[in-house]
Amino acid sequence: MPQTELPYHKARKRFGQNFLHDHGVIREIVASINPKQGERLVEIGPGQGALTADVLERAGALDVVELDRDLIPTLMLRFGLNPGFRIHEADALKFDFASLQTDERPLRIIGNLPYNISTPLIFHLLSYAGLVQDMHFMLQKEVVQRLAADAGDNHYGRMGIMAQYYCQVDYLFTVGPESFRPAPKVDSAIVRLTPYRKLPHPCKDIQKLELVVRDAFSQRRKTIRNTLKQHLKADELEVLAIDPTARPEVLTIAHFVRIADYLTDRQYK
């Protein structure tokens, strides 16, 4: 069947749009996602539908969240006659993803996420981790490196710690700028985040953990004694078997949970 010619849409810088057009990369991404009939797939920022077509064909149904209203007609032209296609014109940063879970099926979230909102959007999506089977995203390569970094790595920091608190993070593969229109100035990468059914390092107060991690990395070149001095003293860190002279990037998630739990317990004594 010949394809309908799509209306021209100029990528918008304010939406961070870079449209994927490399069919080999698209096939590789869809193979990594491996969508199946009956699953509850959600795509963020479908753009002109590069991933949408294959995912919708395999899954039979797909919810998409798109902010750019000028892309809605293109998406409806391509997929509107499919009864399984549902479009939500909304800002993903403010969207209630829980509203899409209408039965016991977990959500599978995918998307080529805009570089300019990727960090806050990842944090927003982590708040729905309990409803999610997995998430596959195209992101700036540096962001994926930060998500997947281990303690001691130069990319290790707040984002990676909080993502790995909730999820297993897998760096899948790199995608070059030539695969997009317009071509970005940086490499991209595909990441898989799989929420844990049972957290490996559960904390007593998640807000306390978020606060500790944020403050610890507020000045990452300083020691943990200095960055967390408003929360606890050096001798308290030593009681927790944490070197006060260590820099935050060498502490594991278990260390940060230990600090957060100590502060929580101390608060209620």
pLDDT tens digits along 213-250:
999 999 988 999 999 999 999 999 999 999 999 999 99
pLDDT confidence bin for 7, thresholds 50/70/90 = very low
Q: Residue ranges of the alpha helices (H) in 113-245?
A: 118-126, 141-148, 158-166, 206-216, 224-227, 234-239
**How confident is the model at residue 10, as a pLDDT?**
47
DSSP structural state of residue 185: S
**How confident is the model at residue 108, as a pLDDT?**
98
What is the homologous superfamily of the domain 13-195 according to CATH? Vaccinia Virus protein VP39 (3.40.50.150)
What DSSP assignment string belongs to 53-105? HHHHHHHS-EEEEE--GGGHHHHHHHHTT-TTEEEEES-TTT--GGGG--SSP
**How confident is the model at residue 9, as a pLDDT?**
41
CATH architecture of 206-267: Orthogonal Bundle (1.10)
Cα(49)–Cα(39) distance, integer angstroms: 19
Q: How far is CA 194 from CA 41, 133, 185, in A?
A: 14, 6, 29
Contact 67, 91 (CB under 8 A): yes
What angle in degrees, to the nearest 10, is found between the helix axes of 158-166 and 253-267? Answer: 80
Cβ atoms within 10 Å, residue 78: 19
Please report, for the chain, the start and end positions of each structural domain, with discontinuous segments joined by +.
13-195, 206-267
Mean of pLDDT over the chain: 91
With a pLDDT cut of 90, the percent of the chain lying above it is: 81
Closest CA to 192 of 174, 168, 175, 161: 168
Provide the CB-side half-sphere exposure for 177 (13 A, CA).
6
Minimum mean pLDDT range among 31-40, 95-104, 115-124: 115-124
**How confident is the model at residue 145, as a pLDDT?**
97
Containing 41, the helix (H) or strand (E) segment is strand 40-44
pLDDT tens digits along 130-160:
999 999 999 999 999 999 999 999 999 999 9
Q: Please provide residue 124's backbone torsions phi and psi, each rounded to the nearest 5 degrees.
A: -60, -45
196 has a pLDDT exceeding 90: yes
